[in-house]
Amino acid sequence: MTYVDGFVAAVPKANKEKYIAHAKAAAVLFKQWGATRVTENWGDDVPKGELNDFYTAVHAKDDEVVVFSWIEYPDKATRDAVQQKMMSDPEMGAMEMPFDGKRMIFAGFTNLLDV
């Protein structure tokens, strides 16, 4: 069954092109390792909430945009194997992150519905 890793991050608006380059390079590796789909989305219509929202979840600053991304895998075992490769791959380790990774939130999800 499909397994998905989801990510939300705050990226400086000035780093949009750097983020795109970073995402493309990382996507190549994820696909080589077994991901079936890598999706990156630049915040366009992200409303501020009364109690909570995407901005507060990642402590976004005024000059940052919220990015919402996900990676799909054929199953959790493939995702777990990719996670191991990602942590030990020198090419991945050498990539410059054009955002503050400490404020990124991420989690793994089992698919319930896909229509």
Report the share of the chain in percent with pLDDT over 70: 100
Per-residue pLDDT, 94 = 86
| Mean pLDDT within 6-13 | 98
Q: Is the pLDDT of residue 89 over 90?
A: no
Whole-prediction pTM: 0.92
| Mean pLDDT within 73-99 | 91
What distance in Å separates the CA atoms of residue 62 and residue 13, rounded to the nearest whole number? 9
